[in-house]
Each structure stands twice: as structure tokens, then as C-alpha cells.
């Protein structure tokens, strides 16, 4: 849940968390149904501009390839997503199953199949149970509505090993005073690594824009949110994030005051023309969903946040944050309540970022308490010190933050993750059985 602390002071009067999930957006309907481990979500948003970001894995699922082609046209009207089967590494049959999923949805919703995106999540390398999926699409098509419950049902239907559904929504006052809404649902708990993870995320807005602008906005938000989540370091074959805009508010996210042609929404030459409040609103929503995924990591008992400051470049800040949050040794230390600063410094060192061990600062905190383990290269948490005792107490909490100052520049980044537990091994050892 987005809190006041998640919104910087510069935007607290411009962005606020609201209820409704993806259905906070008007002129959008959704539904979700399940049958055991299988589920189907439908999202109906007629004639929406769309942009997407997908897995960078060279092994891609049939629905990823299909949706990439579909959104090249710039518009979609519906999304059909299933859980329980990834429809990946399934050959020509998988492609046919993907096409039949869309054809079924097209017939039931009376929408051209070229306006329907699709996504799947679940076990890789297994044939789609089309009899079950088809029945679920039929059932979901009869339940489409715009409501909080419908958003929750859609979020639940795409869950796999998730233990909680994930949704978020914000209301944004644009720089010109107009108001738009952004809402989203997502799933993901395991096979989560940079370049997204085994995640599906669908985000809607009633703002008015075009595909080119949406793409710029989405890439920025994904880079600082979903690409900064690490649960286990494995990268999925099915990652899909779609951002679509139905324009029903009639309020543009392009700041025409910075544009010579105020009547042309497509005339966007640089990022300065994108409404900063909208970009920040999407950033906040995506970070909220990313943190929800990290907190629900497979088998997780603790949430881990790694904040890096003082980096020479933005890239350095990001790779250090990800290096620490993905380290199995750091993650197991967090599980065991061990403030092992040596493992943290080790992970900083192999990140390839510009750093000097003699100037690094490392601290851990939980709630309102903070303690330094290393300050400007000097170790403060040797055995028997008060710093170590305080650190050991803080490590017992459910949410842990590691703060790192590289003292190399002015760039920063935050990564999100969780501990690595016995239950993670159990869940994945028994995943297909």
C-alpha cells in the first residue's frame, strides 16, 4: 500500500493513493476466475493506446511473441491472461493454443482478434490445458465489470505461487491542474531477477497520449521498479508489462506549454514535454507493485530494501543495489538475522561499480532505528561492540533496509528483495509435482 512516505514532498499535493486497483480507471472492465491451479483474467478497455516491456530471456513464451506483434499497431481493446501454464517451449502447438485463446476471447467479447493482447504464467514446457482455459474464458467474459472486487478477482486469477493478490492505484493532478487516474494489477513471487521476473503486470490510465509517449514513460518507470526487484536471480521467459491509455479523461500527459505545436499530441521531441507529475505517479505505482512482489517472494519471511547513494553514475548505483539484494549470502544472512557486513561489502565489490573500499559506508535500519556497520571504510561492528548488538536486534525485524554510501558522486538507486529461506527450496523442489 502506498504511504505518504512513498511520495516525495515535491509531489505530495499532486499524487495520492486511491482504491479500486486497475478498476480505478473509468471505461474499463475486468474479471477473474479460477479452477484449481488454473486461472484466467480478462481486461476490457476499448481502443486504448498501448506500450509494453517484455522479458529479455532468449527463450520466450508464445504469448510474449504474440503480444509483441499485436501492440505494434499501437492499440488494444482487451487482454486475456492465464495462470497455471506458461505456454513456453511448447513449439507449434503452443503458438496454436495462443491463437485459439485469443480467438475464443475475440468471439465472446465481439472484439477484433488483432486488438487483443495475451499473457501466460506458470509451468514452462507443458501443453496448455485448453479445455480448462476455454471454459474459464467463457466464465470470465460473463463477469466483466468495473469495481474493486473485479480488480481483486483479476489479480487473484493470475496468481501462481503468490500468497497475496497485488494491485495499486493513484490519482494524479497534472501540471495544468487536470486530473487523471492510473491503476494496475500484477503477479510475481519467484523467478524474479533484474530485467523483470516471472511477472505479469497490467497498468491502465484514463490519460490521453500515444504509444511513443507511453513507451518512454513506461521504460523509465520499469527501470527503477520492476528491474530493481530480485527474489532469486532467475529470469523468466514470460515477463510482460503492458501500459494502456483509454483517454477517457481527455487530459493529455504531454505538456503542451513546452511544445511549439499545442494541438498535436504526437509532437513530442524530448522528455521535458512529458508531464512530470504523471511520470512520478506511474513511478510510485510501479515501485509499490514491485515492493509487493518482493514482500511476497517465494518462501520469504523478511522484506529487504537496499538503498545506494553517492554513486559515480546512475548505472553504478543500480548495479550495486542489485548486486547486494541478489546475493545468496546476503539473503541467507538476512534470513538468519546475521548483520554480516562482510557479505555486503563483498557484493558491492564484485558489482563492477566504481568504488573505494576505504570510503564505503554501510548501515542497516528497521522502522526508525539505524546503526552503522562501516563508516567511511572503518568497521564499527566488531564482535562485542554496541553497534553489532544493535544490528543483531534490528535484523530480527520483518523489514530490513541496507543503506550504502559509495562516496563517489551524487547518484542513487533502490533495489527490493527478500531473504532466502528453507521454504523457497521446498516450493521450487515441488513446483511441478
Give the whole-angstrom CA distance, residue 328 versus residue 185: 29
Give the whole-angstrom CA distance, residue 150 versus residue 321: 36
3-state secondary structure of 315: helix
Mean pLDDT along residues 30-34: 98
185, with CB counted inside 10 A (0-12, 13-18, 19+), is buried
CB burial readout 368-385, b (16+ within 10 A) else e: eeebbbbeeeebbbeeee
Domain boundaries defined on the chain: 4-295, 303-429
Pull the grid cell for residue 64.
510474449
Distances (CA, A) of 300 to 46, 227, 430: 38, 19, 16
Q: Does domain 4-295 have CATH number 3.60.70.12?
A: yes
pLDDT at 235 over 60: no
- The active-site residue out of 67, 198, 237, 240 is 198
Q: Which of 164, 215, 211, 161 shows the shortest CA–CA distance to 185? A: 164
Mean pLDDT along residues 164-187: 97
Mean pLDDT along residues 82-97: 94
Give the whole-angstrom CA distance, residue 214 versus residue 210: 6
Pick the residue with more confidence: 242 or 58? 242
pLDDT at 168 over 60: yes
Provide the pLDDT confidence category of residue 123 given band limits of 50, 70 and 90.
confident
pLDDT of residue 266: 45
Q: So what's the architecture of 303-429 in CATH?
A: Roll (3.10)
**Half-sphere exposure at residue 274, Cβ-oriented, CA atoms within 13 angstroms:** 20
pLDDT at 433 over 90: no
pLDDT of residue 198: 59
Run of H or E residues at 107: helix 91-109
Pick the residue with more confidence: 300 or 165? 165
pLDDT at 185 over 80: yes
First to last CA, the chain: 34
pLDDT of residue 263: 40
Give the whole-angstrom CA distance, residue 266 versus residue 164: 39
Provide the pLDDT confidence category of residue 258 given band limits of 50, 70 and 90.
low
Residue whose entry in the numeric block shows the C-alpha cell 460473463: 142
Q: What rounded mean pLDDT belongs to the chain?
A: 90
Catalytic residue status for 105: no
Amino acid at each position: 500500500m502506498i504511504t505518504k512516505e512513498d511520495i516525495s514532498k515535491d509531489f505530495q499535493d499532486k499524487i495520492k493513493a486511491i482504491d479500486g486497483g486497475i478498476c480505478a480507471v473509468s471505461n474499463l472492465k475486468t474479471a477473474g476466475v479460477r479452477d484449481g491451479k488454473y486461472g484466467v483474467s480478462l481486461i476490457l478497455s476499448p481502443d486504448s493506446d498501448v506500450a509494453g516491456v517484455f522479458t529479455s530471456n532468449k527463450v520466450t513464451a508464445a504469448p510474449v511473441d504474440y503480444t509483441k506483434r499485436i501492440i505494434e499497431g499501437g492499440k488494444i481493446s482487451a487482454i486475456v491472461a492465464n495462470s497455471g501454464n506458461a505456454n513456453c517451449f511448447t513449439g507449434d502447438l503452443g503458438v496454436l493454443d495462443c491463437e485459439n485463446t485469443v480467438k475464443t476471447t475475440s468471439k465472446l467479447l465481439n472484439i477484433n482478434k488483432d486488438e487483443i493482447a495475451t499473457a501466460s504464467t506458470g509451468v514452462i514446457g507443458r501443453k496448455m490445458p485448453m479445455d480448462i482455459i476455454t471454459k474459464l474464458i467463457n466464465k470470465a467474459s460473463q463477469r466483466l465489470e468495473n469495481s474493486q472486487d473485479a480488480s481483486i478477482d483479476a489479480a487473484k486469477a493470475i496468481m501462481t505461487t503468490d500468497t497475496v493478490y497485488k494491485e495499486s492505484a493513484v490519482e494524479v493532478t497534472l501540471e495544468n491542474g487536470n486530473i487523471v487516474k492510473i491503476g494496475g494489477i500484477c503477479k510475481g513471487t519467484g523467478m524474479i531477477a533484474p530485467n523483470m521476473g516471472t511477472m505479469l503486470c497490467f497498468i491502465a490510465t484514463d490519460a490521453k497520449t500515444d504509444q511513443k509517449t507511453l513507451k518512454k514513460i513506461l521504460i523509465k518507470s520499469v527501470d527503477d521498479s520492476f528491474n530493481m526487484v530480485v527474489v532469486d536471480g532467475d529470469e523468466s521467459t514470460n515477463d510482460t508489462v503492458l501500459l494502456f491509455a483509454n483517454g477517457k479523461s481527455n487530459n493529455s500527459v504531454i505538456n503542451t506549454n513546452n511544445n511549439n505545436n499545442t494541438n498535436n499530441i504526437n509532437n513530442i521531441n524530448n522528455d521535458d514535454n512529458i508531464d512530470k507529475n504523471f511520470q512520478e505517479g506511474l513511478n510510485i505505482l510501479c515501485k509499490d507493485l514491485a515492493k509487493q512482489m518482493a514482500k511476497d517472494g517465494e518462501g520469504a519471511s523478511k522484506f529487504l530494501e537496499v538503498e545506494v547513494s553517492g554513486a559515480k553514475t546512475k548505472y553504478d548505483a543500480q548495479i550495486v543495489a542489485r548486486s547486494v539484494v541478489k546475493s545468496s549470502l546476503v539473503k541467507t544472512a538476512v534470513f538468519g538475522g546475521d548483520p554480516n557486513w562482510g557479505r555486503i561489502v563483498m557484493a558491492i565489490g564484485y558489482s563492477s561499480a566504481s568504488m573505494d573500499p576505504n570510503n564505503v559506508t554501510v548501515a542497516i535500519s528497521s522502522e526508525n532505528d539505524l546503526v552503522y556497520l562501516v563508516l567511511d571504510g572503518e568497521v564499527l561492528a566488531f564482535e562485542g561492540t554496541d553497534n553489532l548488538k544493535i544490528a543483531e536486534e534490528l535484523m530480527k525485524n520483518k523489514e530490513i533496509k541496507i543503506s550504502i554510501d559509495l562516496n563517489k558522486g551524487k547518484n542513487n538507486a533502490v533495489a527490493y528483495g527478500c531473504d532466502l529461506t528453507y521454504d523457497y527450496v521446498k516450493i521450487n523442489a515441488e513446483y511441478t509435482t
